[in-house]
Amino acid sequence: MSDGEPKVNVDGVPYRTIWCDEQGTVHAIDQRLLPFRFKVMRIDSLVAMAEAISTMAVRGAGLIGAATGYGMHLAAREAADRPSGQGTDLVAAAALLKATRPTAVNLAWAVRRQLQVLADIEDPQLRAAAARAEADAIADEDADSCRRIGEHGLGLLRQLHETTGRTVNVLTHCNAGWLAFVDHGTATAPIYAAHDAGIPVHVWVDETRPRNQGARLTAWELAQHGVPHTVVADNAGGHLMQRGQVDVVLVGSDRTTADGDVANKIGTYLKALAAQDTGVPFYAALPSSTIDWTMTDGVRSTPIEERDGREVTHMEGVGPDGSLIEVRLTPVSSPAANPGFDVTPGRLVTGLITEAGICAASAAGLAAQHPDLAGGS
Ligand code: MRU
């Protein structure tokens, strides 16, 4: 875990979720097809990257940030390829990317980083080269942050194992795994680190309706890494906690406010309520790039993405012949609502695990751990 090498294997082959080749074409794992098919997409235009993010071919906080960084690289490359050196306006490119997933703060963060780096570079070729280098840096930093989150979280899981003397049961929601980042994941990073260190760990995987990121993605990547796990319906978590079958809840975050409120996949808040009622520790793991230092009171302030109701009314899977099929679940005449995220107030969060360590989910806790970032944008 600490060697910095790509952590994740797919059928034994090491992968990152996104990378860029020497020609500047971006490659990313298409998450819409998992776990049924493993396919790598080529993304070679700004518009294609925006579509990949909005259709959730690439998804998850850190990966969205990395994809956005590469989206800006593609935009700068398109401009440099035009005879006049003009063309795609980087501010327009930034706006296009930022509109794709409103809750994910890594998106705006990556755009801001690129615009800052590119602001004073006039020459289109130099600008394209700088955008590529910055995109690579964003991706590498995401992987490194996740690796360090794993190291900090490992201590927690080790302590739980030493206290109970038995397998550590973790419950997780959605996919905050390596698929949602560039490598390692956030909620999964301590799990992989513990598993690799020989600590017995078992994961309860919330299916995470409506898109089933838990059942489809988290289960797949845990299986690839050989981590014992069990998929449960979203509604099972409270019961498992009441029966003492969960030692810790570990989730990710798509935006954490400066005072420690955690926006994450819809349904996370209910798990935090159950955890508090049953005395189960509840941690959110996130790189500091996911902290929105300009926002407080996340319950009121966080923009919540409203997704297509079809994700609720329909479900996708494979039929008996292995082909991908979609079935309707609800009456044709029943409308559906589909808020993509909810916000767990910091008072329900035992701690935040970032690349810098573990801190209280509060303004004071975050500011003490990230004195260089707190108060900034
Ligand atoms: O699948 P998404 O992009 O809609 O969901 C975002 C997430 O991945 C989860 O909320 C996750 O737990 C946050 S950390 C990647």
180 lines ligand 1 (CB under 6 A): yes
pLDDT beyond 70 at 251? yes
87 vs 288, which has greater pLDDT? 288
Kindly name the residue from 254, 261, 292, 342 that is annotated as catalytic. Answer: 254
Backbone angles phi, psi at 278, to 5 degrees: -100, 0
What does the block give as tokens for 257? 């406010």
First to last CA, the chain: 31
pLDDT beyond 80 at 139? yes
Residue 254 Cα to ligand 1 midpoint, Å, equals 6
153 lines ligand 1 (CB under 6 A): no
248-251 vs 168-172, strand pairing mode:
parallel
For residues 242 and 240, give the distance between their C-alpha atoms in angstroms, rounded to a whole number: 5
For residues 120 and 23, give the distance between their C-alpha atoms in angstroms, rounded to a whole number: 24
The per-residue pLDDT for 377 is 54
Identify whether the C-beta of residue 170 lies closer than 8 Å to the C-beta of residue 298: no
pLDDT beyond 90 at 374? no
pLDDT beyond 60 at 5? no
The per-residue pLDDT for 7 is 56
Question: What is the rounded average pLDDT of the residues 84-92?
Answer: 71
175 lines ligand 1 (CB under 6 A): yes
Residue 77 Cα to ligand 1 midpoint, Å, equals 29
Please report the sign of the dihedral spanned by the C-alpha atoms of residue 317, residue 234, residue 142, residue 199: negative
Rounded mean pLDDT of the chain?
94
Percent of the chain with pLDDT over 70: 96
Q: Quick: pLDDT tens for 266-294.
A: 999 999 999 999 999 999 999 999 999 99
Residue 243 Cα to ligand 1 midpoint, Å, equals 27
CA within 13 Å, CB half, 146: 34
206 lines ligand 1 (CB under 6 A): no
pLDDT beyond 80 at 1? no
The per-residue pLDDT for 83 is 74
The per-residue pLDDT for 86 is 56
Instruction: Please report the DSSP string for 21-56 in residue order.
Output: -TTS-EEEE-TTSTTT---EEEE-SHHHHHHHHHTT
**CA-nearest residue, atom 2 of ligand 1:** 60
Angle at 275 between CA 196 and CA 311, to 5 degrees: 80
For residues 104 and 66, give the distance between their C-alpha atoms in angstroms, rounded to a whole number: 12
User: Which of 34, 149, 174 for a ligand 1 pocket mutation test, highest count of atoms within 8 Å of Cβ?
Assistant: 174
User: Which of 17, 59, 289 for a ligand 1 pocket mutation test, highest count of atoms within 8 Å of Cβ?
Assistant: 59
264 lines ligand 1 (CB under 6 A): yes
Residue 127 Cα to ligand 1 midpoint, Å, equals 31
Q: Quick: pLDDT tens for 195-241.
A: 999 999 999 999 999 999 999 999 999 999 999 999 999 999 999 99
What does the block give as tokens for 90? 């980087």
What does the block give as tokens for 161? 């194992």
Question: What is the rounded average pLDDT of the residues 244-267?
Answer: 98
216 lines ligand 1 (CB under 6 A): no
140 noted as active-site residue: no
Question: What is the rounded average pLDDT of the residues 319-327?
Answer: 93
Residue 149 Cα to ligand 1 midpoint, Å, equals 17
What are 249's strand-pairing partners?
Answer: 171, 282
For residues 220 and 237, give the distance between their C-alpha atoms in angstroms, rounded to a whole number: 20
Residue 62 Cα to ligand 1 midpoint, Å, equals 9
Ligand 1 atom closest to 263 (CA): 10
pTM of the model: 0.94
Question: What is the rounded average pLDDT of the residues 48-59?
Answer: 96
59 lines ligand 1 (CB under 6 A): yes
The per-residue pLDDT for 2 is 37
Instruction: Please report the DSSP string for 183-250 in residue order.
Output: SS-SSHHHHHHHHHTT--EEEEEE--TTTTHIIIIIHHHHHHHT--EEEE-GGGHHHHHHTT--SEEE
57 lines ligand 1 (CB under 6 A): no
3-state secondary structure 105-165: HHHHHHHHHHHHHHCCCCCHHHHHHHHHHHHHHHHHHHHHHHHHHHHHHHHHHHHHHHHHC
For residues 5 and 142, give the distance between their C-alpha atoms in angstroms, rounded to a whole number: 13
Amino acid found at 1: M
Q: Quick: pLDDT tens for 101-116.
A: 988 899 999 999 999 9
Residue 163 Cα to ligand 1 midpoint, Å, equals 31
127 lines ligand 1 (CB under 6 A): no
The per-residue pLDDT for 3 is 43
